[in-house]
Structure 1
Amino acid sequence: MTRKLFGTDGVRGLANTYPMTAELALRIGAAAGRYFRRDGSPAHRVVIGKDTRLSGYMFENALTAGFTSTGMNVLLLGPVPTPAVGMMVRSMRADVGVMISASHNPHHDNGIKFFGPDGFKLNDEAEAEIEAAISSENAPAAAENIGRAKRIDDGLYRYVERVKSTFPHDLTLDGLKVVVDCANGAAYKAAPAVLWELGAEVIPIGVSPNGKNINDGCGSTSTSLAAETVVAHGAHVGICLDGDADRVMIIDENGHIADGDQIMALFAARWSAEGRLANDTLVATVMSNLGLERYLSTKGVSLHRTSVGDRYVVEAMRAGGFNLGGEQSGHIVMTDFATTGDGLQAGLQFLAELKRTGQPASALRQAFEPVPQLLKNVRFEEGNDPLSDPRVKDAIASAEATLSGKGRVLIRKSGTEPLIRVMAECEDQGELLRLVDAIVDEVASVAG
């Protein structure tokens, strides 16, 4: 069953423009409600969270209308991190969870992500069935069976306590000065509270959301502000989250960045040495640096690669019985603790390493020397398929032949935007630039 609405992480787009309209959100809610009420039993419920985007109010109301029209009861969490929704689905015995967020995208975008009753994101098959049901004619619930909606006031605090419980009980954050950048997003209350309650001196930034400043010059995709703040305040470390707090970047005391690959390398080596890394395997996507793979091999750890998207990482982890995975972009998935990527939990595990080893963040932030990697994006018109053009195919084949045995080329369509992502890795940076630019030029010439 093919999908048109759902990408690699739910439905996403420009707010008030198809597919992210209130009308379609209502239909999505109704379709999902029918999907999760197929057994016909009463007392079905859905939990809905959101980040701090202005359009979140609109989509929250539209989804609520859709779900209640099918007889489902709606529990509204308000602004919470995405992993809180995954947690609360199970905690509150709900049938489905929804997060309204476009993650790291600017405020004018928004998205709808689904979690199943087990707290994990829905698979492709379930999303395809929901999408098919959007256009089908199904009778709504009888008037006396319409669902109810209510606010859940303690959802955020349940999440705070859960995240705190994942920090080693024999450690505290006493003596650590921590900058936390919440991207003016979903963790603007939770992250500073967790760090302070565990003992840290907290310097919060990106904690004044106004509906339009989420991810704007701050957060995991714009780390300069956090790096400057760490250095200016003499902090030991910085934690940069994205708009829905499922990603993280770490800043050392000198203002240098550790991305998801470096964080995963640190955790995988530690967990493997302690016998905690299931099957001595880390799961990461095709985007993770070749240097990570080489480093892990020296530690006796295998790297299992998946398609891009944290949900595909989680699916591979569940299928293979693995407990650590993630993405270079900062999704870190630790299924011993959570069902999806959690930037705050990952940040806490890094802080635990600081306390356990007594080393500065600069000594821990780079476990391996990355192979030079270059990524460029080319925007294309909807309906166009630049990758099918013979000239583009020839440019890709030429680059692959050149890098055979000494690097790699990865060309793919974005799952969330109309972009062709052109990535390559090799030790020779001049050759790297030349090969990537050659492909980019051909893609751009036919992109429309």
Structure 2
Amino acid sequence: MDCLKSTPDRFLRYGTGGFRGDATVVEPAFARCGALACLRSKVLGGSVVGVMVTASHNPERDNGLKITEQDGRMLTQSWEALAEECVNAEDGAESLNGILQSFPESQCNRAVVVVGRDTRESSQKLSELVLAGASAFGADAYDVGEVTTPELHWIVRSRNSSSALAPYRDAMASALSSGIQGLSVDCANGIGALALKDIVSRAGISGISIFNDRKDKGLNLNCGADYVQKEHTVPVGHIPADRSASLDGDADRMVYYRFREDQFELVDGDKILAFVMRHLNG
């Protein structure tokens, strides 16, 4: 279990976005969190648990990870403290074994962990550490490659109900099949560009223009949802249409914006969610 020996040089906290920070600083967390995801899967009776390697809207030099529950939700709050305990412990293996022993009701030896990642240069190496940590504690660990954070959540939930990624993109494509005209999307030079291009192709539509879709242009650099929301301006490299949207680096955040009488007008995600809930409630 050599992959679990590395210890961070400062205390790492598990926040709403999981562990996140400079990729070189948070690196020791990845193998240990892979092992922790394995333990979580065992406690859940062998259900699939996910780990997403991403720092979302942070600069490209950063990275992080989030653990996903078997139903697609984020890691249950009671386990966040356990994540901090095992990541910051001097002896990672000893801490993880102690956590497992604190759940005597779990007799399941089977564990399944799926690992996804965004397009950051450091994500490949860090996802391999997660896979190594999960395997070291006995999990069947699977690399699902470059996916958006919502897709990783879908994969975890659907694998616990015998499905996979393709139905997610097919469902998204079906929602777009009626046709959308005049929509321009800034993909923050992140993983959302790959997913959106595939979804648009599946839908067979041409009304969506995709911008900021290249990894070599800098992830979240003067573009993306966080930039637009904070700066209240159009992202660099983006040509606005009648309606425009920006995703963040892992495509789990989106803002809409438009120009009305030459004035920039932002519709943030909270308002969009309120409109959706109002529609669903009739």
Query: Where on the TM-score scale, by shorter chain, does this alignment land: which range?
Result: 0.5 to 0.7
In structure 2, give the amino acid aligned to 1:84. Answer: E
Task: Specify the alignment match of 1:161 in structure 2.
Answer: 170
* Per-residue CA distance 1:197-248 (angstroms, 9 max, x = gap): 25242221121113x71111111122344598444xxx23112100111111
- Residue number among 11, 25, 47 corresponding to 2:114 in the alignment: 47
The answer to whether the 8 A contact 1:227-1:251 is kept is: no
Task: Specify the alignment match of 1:202 in structure 2.
Answer: 208
Task: Specify the alignment match of 2:33 in structure 1.
Answer: 28
- Once residues 180 and 157 of structure 1 are traced to their aligned partners in structure 2, the CA distance between those partners, rounded to angstroms, is 22
The answer to whether the 8 A contact 2:41-2:112 is kept is: no
Task: Specify the alignment match of 1:125 in structure 2.
Answer: none
Question: Is 1:13 matched with 2:31?
Answer: no
The answer to whether the 8 A contact 1:181-1:240 is kept is: yes
Q: Using the TM superposition, give the Cα deviation of residue 26 of structure 1 relative to its aligned residue in structure 2, in angstroms.
A: 1.1
In structure 2, give the amino acid aligned to 1:236. Answer: D
- Once residues 277 and 151 of structure 2 are traced to their aligned partners in structure 1, the CA distance between those partners, rounded to angstroms, is 24
In structure 1, give the amino acid aligned to 2:149. Answer: T
- Once residues 271 and 64 of structure 1 are traced to their aligned partners in structure 2, the CA distance between those partners, rounded to angstroms, is 39
- Residue number among 256, 269, 279 corresponding to 2:265 in the alignment: 256
- Residue number among 53, 59, 62 corresponding to 2:129 in the alignment: 62
The answer to whether the 8 A contact 2:225-2:255 is kept is: yes
The number of equivalent residue pairs is 202
Q: Using the TM superposition, give the Cα deviation of residue 252 of structure 1 relative to its aligned residue in structure 2, in angstroms.
A: 2.3
Q: CA RMSD in A?
A: 3.0
- Once residues 177 and 67 of structure 1 are traced to their aligned partners in structure 2, the CA distance between those partners, rounded to angstroms, is 45
**Distance 1:54-1:4 versus aligned 2 partners, 3 A rule:** closer
- Once residues 190 and 21 of structure 2 are traced to their aligned partners in structure 1, the CA distance between those partners, rounded to angstroms, is 18
* Per-residue CA distance 1:45-73 (angstroms, 9 max, x = gap): 11111111111112101111100011111
- Residue number among 215, 219, 232 corresponding to 1:214 in the alignment: 219
**Distance 1:9-1:34 versus aligned 2 partners, 3 A rule:** same
**Distance 1:227-1:30 versus aligned 2 partners, 3 A rule:** closer
Task: Specify the alignment match of 1:397 in structure 2.
Answer: none
Task: Specify the alignment match of 2:276 in structure 1.
Answer: 267
In structure 1, give the amino acid aligned to 2:36. Answer: A
- Residue number among 248, 251, 274 corresponding to 1:245 in the alignment: 251
Point out where structure 1 has 5 or more consecutive residues left out of the alignment.
Answer: 95-153, 275-448
**Distance 1:189-1:157 versus aligned 2 partners, 3 A rule:** farther
Q: Using the TM superposition, give the Cα deviation of residue 32 of structure 1 relative to its aligned residue in structure 2, in angstroms.
A: 2.7
Q: TM-score, normalised by structure 1?
A: 0.41
Q: Using the TM superposition, give the Cα deviation of residue 261 of structure 1 relative to its aligned residue in structure 2, in angstroms.
A: 3.2
Task: Specify the alignment match of 2:138 in structure 1.
Answer: 71
Which runs of structure 2 are paired with 1:12-161 in the superposition (5 Å)?
Answer: 12-17=20-25, 20-21=26-27, 23-38=28-43, 39-93=106-160, 157-161=166-170
In structure 2, give the amino acid aligned to 1:37. Answer: K
Give secondary structure in 2 for the equivalent of 1:239: strand
**Distance 1:206-1:70 versus aligned 2 partners, 3 A rule:** same
Q: TM-score, normalised by structure 2?
A: 0.62
Which runs of structure 2 are paired with 1:173-188 in the superposition (5 Å)?
Answer: 173-174=179-180, 176-188=181-193
* Per-residue CA distance 1:415-438 (angstroms, 9 max, x = gap): xxxxxxxxxxxxxxxxxxxxxxxx
In structure 2, give the amino acid aligned to 1:12. Answer: R
Give secondary structure in 2 for the equivalent of 1:62: helix
- Once residues 261 and 157 of structure 1 are traced to their aligned partners in structure 2, the CA distance between those partners, rounded to angstroms, is 28
Identity %: 27
- Once residues 79 and 91 of structure 1 are traced to their aligned partners in structure 2, the CA distance between those partners, rounded to angstroms, is 17
- Once residues 278 and 17 of structure 2 are traced to their aligned partners in structure 1, the CA distance between those partners, rounded to angstroms, is 29
- Once residues 269 and 247 of structure 1 are traced to their aligned partners in structure 2, the CA distance between those partners, rounded to angstroms, is 20
- Once residues 182 and 164 of structure 1 are traced to their aligned partners in structure 2, the CA distance between those partners, rounded to angstroms, is 17
- Once residues 15 and 192 of structure 1 are traced to their aligned partners in structure 2, the CA distance between those partners, rounded to angstroms, is 28
The answer to whether the 8 A contact 2:190-2:249 is kept is: yes
- Once residues 250 and 57 of structure 1 are traced to their aligned partners in structure 2, the CA distance between those partners, rounded to angstroms, is 31
* Per-residue CA distance 1:241-286 (angstroms, 9 max, x = gap): 00111111012255532112332343344334x2xxxxxxxxxxxx
